[in-house]
Structure 1
Amino acid sequence: MSLHATTTVEASADVSLRVPRGGTEDLTSGVAGVLAAIDGVVEVAVERVTSVRPGHTDIRVDTDVTVVLELPAAAADAPPETDLGEGVAARLVDGFGITAVNAVERVALVEE
């Protein structure tokens, strides 16, 4: 249970990340696992993988995803919902294995 006020949003994003080799059965599950491990991420849907570059210890992937995540309530105080995109990008890029959040295309508040 969180003691801090949060706002739940759904966002579509273009993300670059590293998926560990041998961690899952398939690449899509690996992408979802890396994103799901980020603090505040509640749900992940991998829309499509747009680029794959194998490395020695991991696979570098560019992907389009939809995530449901909790942001600090202060991030939601900004008037237009498009400002939430910065909060989404900051939360995602702090995750282990995330190399870049290339774009946040859509952010919508989730009604609870």
Structure 2
Amino acid sequence: MIQYKGALVLGALLGAAAGVLLAPDKGSVTRDHLKKEGKDIKEQFVSDFIELKEDVSKAATSGKEKFKEDLKDFAYKTSYKTEQAITFLEKQLAILKEKNKTLQQTS
């Protein structure tokens, strides 16, 4: 979409340049016409820039929300896996305590 708008602006500028070269009107009339065209192009450029800024802002906000969701999901999964690891280590520790107790009794 931005490429098309850029092409429109470029086309308007080229059209204005061609108009100057092929102008059948007096210089003052041509200058007034060019001023009007320049003003119209500026207004269109400002309008397109504002639209682009809003689109980028929306995308950034959307990306921020997605990042927050992904981070929350990651924290949940990490917490769950950490709990599993702790449970496994506790079981292994209990096994080692039993083996140690057995070794202490036979000594």
Which bin holds the TM-score, normalised by the shorter protein? Answer: under 0.3
Report which of the two has the higher share of strand.
1
Please give the TM-score of this superposition, normalised by the length of structure 1: 0.22
Greater RCO (Cα-Cα under 8 Å, separation 6 or more)? 1
Report which of the two has the higher share of helix.
2
Please give the TM-score of this superposition, normalised by the length of structure 2: 0.23
